[in-house]
Amino acid sequence: MNNWHWYVYIIECNDNTYYTGLTWNIGNRLDQHLLQKGSKYTKKHGAKKLVYCEKFNDLEAARIREKQIKNWSQVKKQKLINGDWQQEWGR
C-alpha cells in the first residue's frame, strides 16, 4: 500500500450542502455517489458534482484531514472550496 494515493474530497449535493469523504479511487467513488450508491448522505441529498479534492500518500493523514473537514461548517467548507481558507489552515 506504500504506492497508493488517498483522496479527501467534497461533493456538492443537490440541496447545496456538502459531503466530505475519503477514497483511493476518486473517479469510481464519484460515480457511486452520482448513482446514489456512495453514502446514506448523498443518497438522501443527491450528489451534484465534485467540488474539491486533496491527494495524500498516507492513509492516516488522509483520515485525519477527512475528519477535520467533516467537522467544519458548510460556510467554512465553502471557503476551502473557493480557496479563501487556504492561508488560514496552512496547506
**Is 40 inside a domain boundary?**
yes
Alpha-carbon distance 42 to 45, whole Å? 5
3-state secondary structure of 68: helix
Q: How many domains does the chain have?
A: 1
Q: Is the model's pTM score more than 0.85?
A: yes
Q: What is the pLDDT of residue 15?
A: 96
Q: Are strands 18-23 and 6-13 parallel, antiparallel or unpaired?
A: antiparallel
**Is 91 inside a domain boundary?**
no
* Domain of residue 36, CATH code: 3.40.1440.10
| Predicted confidence pLDDT, tens digits, the chain (91 residues) | 467 899 999 999 999 999 999 999 999 999 999 999 989 999 999 999 999 999 999 999 999 999 999 999 999 999 999 988 665 554 4
Q: Which domain holds residue 59?
A: 6-86
pLDDT digits (tens, 9 = 90+) for 7-25: 999 999 999 999 999 999 9
**Is 1 inside a domain boundary?**
no
